[in-house]
Chains A and B, each alone.
Chain A
Amino acid sequence: MPKIEVNERLFFELVGRRMEDTELEAALETAKAELDGWGEDSADGGGRLIKIELNDTNRPDLWSTAGIARQLRVRDGGTIPEYPFFSREGDERPSEYTLLVDSSIQKLRPYMAGFVIAGKPIDDAMLRDAIQTQEKLCANFGRKRRVLSMGMYRIDLIKWPISYKGVQPDAVSFVPLQMDEPMTLRRILAEHPKGKEYGHIIADSPTYPILVGADDGVLSMAPIINSADIGAVQVGDRDILVEFSGTDMATVALATSIVACDFADAGYEIRPLRVEYDFDTPFGRAVTFPYYYQTPASVDAGRISKLLGESIGPEKAIEALARMGVRAEAHGQHVRAWPPEYRDDFIHAVDLVEDVMIGRGMASFKPERPRDFTIGRLSPIESFTRKAKDVMVGLGYQEMIYNYLGSGKDYIERMNSSADSIIRISNPMTENFEYVRPSILPGLLQSASVSSKAPYPHRIFEAGKVAFLDEAQNYGTSTRQRLGFLCSHQMADYNELAGVVSALLYYLGEDYTVEDGDDPRFLHGRQARILVQGVNIGVFGELHPAVLENWGINMPSVACELDLDSLL
Chain B
Amino acid sequence: MDPRSLLKGLHPLEIKVLLRYSPGEPLNVATLARDLGYVEGHANQAQAWLSSKALAAETGRTSMTVYELTPLGRSWLESGSPEERLIAYLAEHGPAALPAVCQALGIEQKDAGSAFGRLSREGVLAMTPDKLVAVADAAKSRRTEALRALLAKAAADGGMLDDAALDAPERALMGEIAKKRGAGDAAFRAAERETVTWALTEAAAAVSALLREEGVSGEELGAVTQEMLESGSWKGASFRSYNIRSRPARLIPGRRNPYVQFLESVKDKLVSLGFEEYDGGLVETEFWNGDALFMPQFHSARDIHDVYYVANPTKAASIEEPYLSRVAETHENGGATGSRGWRYGFDREFTKRLVLRSQGTVLSARQLPKASVPGKYFGIARCFRYDKVDATHLSDFYQTEGIVLGEDVNLRTLLGFLEMFAVEVAGAKEVKYVPGYFPFTEPSVEVHIRHPVLGWFELGGAGIFRPEVTEPLGVSVPVLAWGIGIDRMALMALGLNDLRELFSYDIENVRLRRALQK
Residues of A within 8 A of B (CB): 29-30, 32, 55-58, 140, 143, 250, 306-310, 347-351, 353-354, 357-358, 362, 365-379, 381-382, 386, 389, 392-405, 423-429, 433, 436, 443, 446-448, 450-451, 453-455, 457-460, 465, 467, 469, 474-479
B443 to A307, Cβ gap below 8 A?
yes
Partner of B257, one of A347, A350, A399, A477: A399
Which chain A residue has the least Cβ–Cβ distance from B407? A372
Partner of A365, one of B396, B411, B420: B411
A-B contact pairs, 30 of them (CB 8 A): A32-B435, A306-B478, A308-B411, A308-B443, A309-B411, A309-B413, A348-B337, A350-B442, A353-B443, A362-B434, A367-B419, A370-B416, A373-B274, A374-B374, A376-B271, A379-B277, A386-B264, A396-B252, A398-B254, A404-B382, A423-B311, A425-B356, A426-B314, A433-B389, A433-B396, A447-B506, A476-B316, A476-B317, A479-B280, A479-B283
A374 to B356, Cβ gap below 8 A?
no
Interchain nearest-CB distance for A281 vs B (Å): 15
User: Which A residues are in CB contact (< 8 Å) with B342?
Assistant: 347
B503 to A401, Cβ gap below 8 A?
yes
Which segment, of B38-46, B148-156, B462-470, faces chain A? B462-470
User: Which A residues are in CB contact (< 8 Å) with B415?
Assistant: 365-368
A375 to B276, Cβ gap below 8 A?
yes
The docked-state distance in angstroms from the alpha carbon of A37 to that of B506 is 38
Which segment, of B3-11, B15-23, B302-310, faces chain A? B302-310
Partner of A348, one of B334, B356, B510: B334
Per-residue contact bits, chain B 280-304, to A (CB 8 Å; 1 contact, 0 not): 1111110000000000001010001
Which chain B residue has the least Cβ–Cβ distance from A393? B254
Contact residues of B between 224 and 260, Cβ < 8 Å to A? 250, 252-257, 259-260
User: Which A residues are in CB contact (< 8 Å) with B434?
Assistant: 29, 32, 362
Partner of B277, one of A353, A382, A479: A382
**Residue B189, interface by CB 8 Å:** no
Interchain nearest-CB distance for A428 vs B (Å): 7
User: Which A residues are in CB contact (< 8 Å) with B411?
Assistant: 307-310, 357, 365
The docked-state distance in angstroms from the alpha carbon of A82 to that of B419 is 41
Residues of B within 8 A of A (CB): 250, 252-257, 259-260, 264, 267, 270-285, 298, 300, 304, 308-314, 316-318, 334, 337-343, 354, 356, 372, 374-376, 382, 384, 386-389, 394-396, 404, 406, 408-413, 415-420, 432-437, 439, 442-445, 464, 466-468, 478, 502-508, 510-511
Which chain A residue has the least Cβ–Cβ distance from B461? A55
Interchain nearest-CB distance for A11 vs B (Å): 20
B309 to A377, Cβ gap below 8 A?
no
B510 to A400, Cβ gap below 8 A?
yes
User: Which B residues are in CB contact (< 8 Å) with A56?
Assistant: 437
Partner of A398, one of B304, B314, B412, B511: B511
B309 to A426, Cβ gap below 8 A?
yes
The docked-state distance in angstroms from the alpha carbon of A492 to that of B206 is 51
Which chain A residue has the least Cβ–Cβ distance from B502? A401
The docked-state distance in angstroms from the alpha carbon of A474 to that of B284 is 11
B503 to A403, Cβ gap below 8 A?
yes
Which chain A residue has the least Cβ–Cβ distance from B250? A455
Which chain B residue has the least Cβ–Cβ distance from A382? B277
Closest 5 CB pairs of A and B: A309-B410, A309-B412, A372-B374, A354-B443, A426-B311
B260 to A401, Cβ gap below 8 A?
yes
B412 to A389, Cβ gap below 8 A?
no
Partner of A477, one of B253, B338, B354, B372: B354
The docked-state distance in angstroms from the alpha carbon of A212 to that of B272 is 69
Which chain B residue has the least Cβ–Cβ distance from A366? B412
A395 to B316, Cβ gap below 8 A?
no
Given A32-B435, A348-B340, A467-B282: A425 and B311 within 8 A (CB)? yes
Which chain A residue has the least Cβ–Cβ distance from B263? A401
Interchain nearest-CB distance for A55 vs B (Å): 5
A454 to B511, Cβ gap below 8 A?
yes
Given A310-B412, A429-B386: A446 and B282 within 8 A (CB)? no
Partner of A474, one of B259, B317, B404: B317
Which chain B residue has the least Cβ–Cβ distance from A55? B437
User: Which A residues are in CB contact (< 8 Å) with B334?
Assistant: 347-348
Interchain nearest-CB distance for B13 vs A (Å): 30
User: Which B residues are in CB contact (< 8 Å) with A447?
Assistant: 505-507
The docked-state distance in angstroms from the alpha carbon of A372 to that of B5 is 70
User: Which B residues are in CB contact (< 8 Å) with A467?
Assistant: 281-283
Interchain nearest-CB distance for A551 vs B (Å): 11
Partner of B279, one of A32, A374, A382, A436: A382
B442 to A353, Cβ gap below 8 A?
yes
A393 to B282, Cβ gap below 8 A?
no
Given A381-B279, A402-B503, A455-B250: A362 and B308 within 8 A (CB)? no
Given contacts A32-B435, A372-B406, 11 further A-B contacts (CB under 8 A): A347-B340, A348-B334, A373-B374, A379-B278, A401-B503, A405-B384, A405-B395, A454-B511, A455-B508, A476-B316, A479-B283
Interchain nearest-CB distance for A314 vs B (Å): 18
User: Which B residues are in CB contact (< 8 Å) with A374?
Assistant: 274-276, 372, 374-376
User: Which A residues are in CB contact (< 8 Å) with B255?
Assistant: 393, 398-399
The docked-state distance in angstroms from the alpha carbon of A140 to that of B339 is 23
Given A308-B410, A477-B283: A443 and B505 within 8 A (CB)? yes
B308 to A425, Cβ gap below 8 A?
yes
User: Which A residues are in CB contact (< 8 Å) with B439?
Assistant: 57
Partner of B312, one of A32, A423, A455: A423
User: Which B residues are in CB contact (< 8 Å) with A479?
Assistant: 280-283
B435 to A477, Cβ gap below 8 A?
no
B468 to A358, Cβ gap below 8 A?
no
A348 to B274, Cβ gap below 8 A?
no
Interchain nearest-CB distance for A237 vs B (Å): 33
User: Which B residues are in CB contact (< 8 Å) with A309?
Assistant: 410-413
B464 to A475, Cβ gap below 8 A?
no
Interchain nearest-CB distance for A214 vs B (Å): 35
Which chain A residue has the least Cβ–Cβ distance from B313? A476
B339 to A348, Cβ gap below 8 A?
yes
Given A55-B436, A307-B478, A474-B318: A348 and B466 within 8 A (CB)? yes
B314 to A403, Cβ gap below 8 A?
no
Interchain nearest-CB distance for B344 vs A (Å): 9
The docked-state distance in angstroms from the alpha carbon of A467 to that of B418 is 34
Which chain B residue has the least Cβ–Cβ distance from A458? B507
The docked-state distance in angstroms from the alpha carbon of A400 to that of B433 is 37
Interchain nearest-CB distance for A549 vs B (Å): 19
Interchain nearest-CB distance for A122 vs B (Å): 31
User: Which B residues are in CB contact (< 8 Å) with A429?
Assistant: 386-388, 395
User: Which B residues are in CB contact (< 8 Å) with A353?
Assistant: 442-443
B254 to A395, Cβ gap below 8 A?
yes
Interchain nearest-CB distance for B288 vs A (Å): 10
B282 to A436, Cβ gap below 8 A?
yes
User: Which A residues are in CB contact (< 8 Å) with B382?
Assistant: 404, 465
Interchain nearest-CB distance for A80 vs B (Å): 19
User: Which B residues are in CB contact (< 8 Å) with A454?
Assistant: 506-508, 511
B356 to A460, Cβ gap below 8 A?
no
User: Which B residues are in CB contact (< 8 Å) with A453?
Assistant: 508
Given A350-B466, A429-B395: A469 and B312 within 8 A (CB)? yes
User: Which A residues are in CB contact (< 8 Å) with B410?
Assistant: 306-309
Interchain nearest-CB distance for B510 vs A (Å): 6
B312 to A424, Cβ gap below 8 A?
yes
The docked-state distance in angstroms from the alpha carbon of A143 to that of B302 is 12
B375 to A367, Cβ gap below 8 A?
no
User: Which A residues are in CB contact (< 8 Å) with B388?
Assistant: 429
The docked-state distance in angstroms from the alpha carbon of A378 to that of B279 is 10
The docked-state distance in angstroms from the alpha carbon of A57 to that of B302 is 14
Partner of A358, one of B298, B311, B316, B435: B435
Interchain nearest-CB distance for A170 vs B (Å): 33
B437 to A58, Cβ gap below 8 A?
yes
Partner of A376, one of B270, B311, B413: B270
A372 to B271, Cβ gap below 8 A?
no
Which chain B residue has the least Cβ–Cβ distance from A390? B256
